[in-house]
Amino acid sequence: MKLFITNKATIKGEMMKIVITRTNKKKQSFEVAVMDGVTPIHKEVVSGIKDRDEVVWKLADLYGAVDIEIVVAKVMRFTVSQIPNIPILDETEAKEFFESNKDYVYDRMVTVITEALRTKKTVVRLFELSGTGVYLTSDKHTWVFGLQQALQHYIDIEWYEKCTTIHKLIQKI
């Protein structure tokens, strides 16, 4: 289950939101992240609903949340995720988009490759280009290279939990 808590505070003109992701249902552990658009600017893992709520309110106060809207979205397990639409049509736009949205692109790559391995697919659709019905795809033989790039990015920003996930994916391929 994911809860998206949005507020009116902004950094760099983007809508800030606090995203809560349940990481373990039985142990009631949660990841709480403050997002600037698609980029996480703060992450914490907490155990229990009481701790989760305390962290959410602390972060909402710290980042100046005025209005908090809670939207509950179901996480679909063992199914293929919805293919996101990105605002690019040519190679120049693609390079700029990917360079300025590395976390988003690499998170998407990890998600689709995980799903592909689970469903035994050899080609994945990463993005739809500007609602045109044209997709950016990746064949299985290119996944390790892409994951290695993602791994280096997450090492550079010291997001080691994500590095562990990517390393395990590379071993499965």
pLDDT tens digits, one per residue of 98-113: 889 999 999 999 999 9
- Please report where in the chains the tokens 């299985």 appear, as a residue: 140
Instruction: Compare 3 and 37 and report the one with higher pLDDT.
Output: 37
- Output the pLDDT for position 38: 62
Within 10 Å of residue 54's Cβ, how many Cβ atoms?
13
Edge to edge, the sheet with strand 29-36 lists 39-47, 29-36, 14-24, 2-11, 69-73
Please name every residue paired with 45 in a beta bridge, in sequence order, or none if there are none: 31
Global pTM value: 0.53
Question: Which residues is 6 bridged to in the sheet?
Answer: 17, 69
Domain boundaries, the chain: 2-73, 85-172
69 pLDDT more than 70: no
Q: Is 134 helix (H, G, I), strand (E, B) or coil?
A: coil
Helices (H), the chain: 49-62, 91-100, 102-119, 140-156, 160-172
